[in-house]
Amino acid sequence: MLLDINTYVGHWPFKQLQYNTCAKLLDRMDKYSVDISVVSNLNGVFYKNTQSANEELYDELQSDNNFRGRFIPFAIINPIYAGWREDLEICVSELGMKGIRVFPQYHDYEVTDPSFIELVKAARNRGLPVAIDIRMVDSRQRSWMDIPVFVPGEKSDIILKEWQLKNVIPIIREVPDAKFIIVNVANGLRVNDEELELLKKADILFDTSGRSMSDLPDLIKKFGKEKFAFGTHAPILDYLSGRLRIEYMNDSEADEATKELLRSGNARRIISI
């Protein structure tokens, strides 16, 4: 079985996307033998009221019987926006959402914001994983309307604010017994010994979509085979590189049992399906 833990439908306002509806994503899944996709609505990154995006996703998933059994929706929740607690309740109990995605960078709050900590605790209490993107797009080709990644007034020295793994460590430290899915890891997985121990103890998954996953065999040795899962970051990133990083590994790097964990086993564990 192949379970993709990182996909979207919806629009990215600065660039046209292909395959950004459930129907188009399902075509991709069928073409490339992907059984199930965890999906969220990109529009929720940009709507102030993210619940509208969750409702859009629900309606789209209801619109075609072929979608049944093929998608696992995750809700986008903004914990500094009014009504998020009710939104979370509705998403779980009425809309069938099995996890949440959060966007501290786009929704403009710190990862130690009390509201965010409360949201992660609420997710933990419900057994819901919390998915966090290290980055959505490569900031080097960002739109001038995208979130700022430069320190104003600085010249010559490149001071990117694109996230690294260390940026999400504080929320894991705050709620170490929550479930986390860290996706599109693009700027390395450098952590100190204390952070490594924290991550190893946590119920956490990194998806294979980000460019920092290219040396997956070494990462498995460092973090453990239970910490990684197949993800594409579709439709923003190409559909096959996240998959290729798993299947490229030879037997000495990852045996078949390990690959099965990465293809779906670890994802099924963290989503509780």
Partner 1 sequence: MSMKIDRRRFIANTSLSATGIILAGKMTGCSTSQEKQIVSYDIMKDVMKYRKIDAHQHPSDDLEKQIEIADRLGIEKMQISNPVTNFSGKEAEGPDEVRKNNDVVIEAVKKYPDRFIGFFTLNPIYKKESIEEIKRCVDNGLIGYKGYTQVKINDPVYYPVIEKLTELKMIVYMHTFTQLGMGGYRMKYDVGRFPNTTLAEDMVESARKYPHTIFHFAHIGGGGDWEYQCKMLKQCPNIYVDTGGSNNEENIVDFAIKHLGEDRIFFGTDGAYIHGVGRVLSSKATDEQKKKIFFDNYVNVLKKGGYNVA
- Using the rule CB under 8 A, give the single segment among 42-50, 56-64, 191-199, 221-229 that binds partner 1: 56-64
Residues 131-190 contacting partner 1, CB under 8 A: 137-138, 140-144, 150, 154-158, 160
Applying CB under 8 A, the site for partner 1 has a residue count of 63
Q: Is 115 exposed, middle or buried (0-12, 13-18, 19+ CB in 10 A)?
A: middle
Smallest distance, partner 1 to C-beta of residue 245, A: 6
Taking alpha carbons only, the member of 256, 249, 260, 175 closest to residue 219 is 249
Instruction: State yes or no: residue 44 binds partner 1 (CB under 8 A).
Output: no
Tokens 């990117």, residue located: 160
Nearer to partner 1, 44 or 79 (CB): 44
Instruction: State yes or no: residue 251 binds partner 1 (CB under 8 A).
Output: no
Close Cβ partners of 55 (under 8 Å, ≥ 6 residues apart)? 95
Pick from 68, 125, 193, 251 the residue near partner 1 by CB under 8 A: 68
Close Cβ partners of 150 (under 8 Å, ≥ 6 residues apart)? 159, 160, 161
Taking alpha carbons only, the member of 200, 142, 137, 199 closest to residue 163 is 137
Task: Give the residues lining the site for partner 1 (CB under 8 A).
Answer: 1-2, 15-19, 30-33, 35-36, 58, 61-62, 65, 67-73, 93-96, 98, 137-138, 140-144, 150, 154-158, 160, 211, 214, 234-245, 247-248, 250, 263, 268, 273
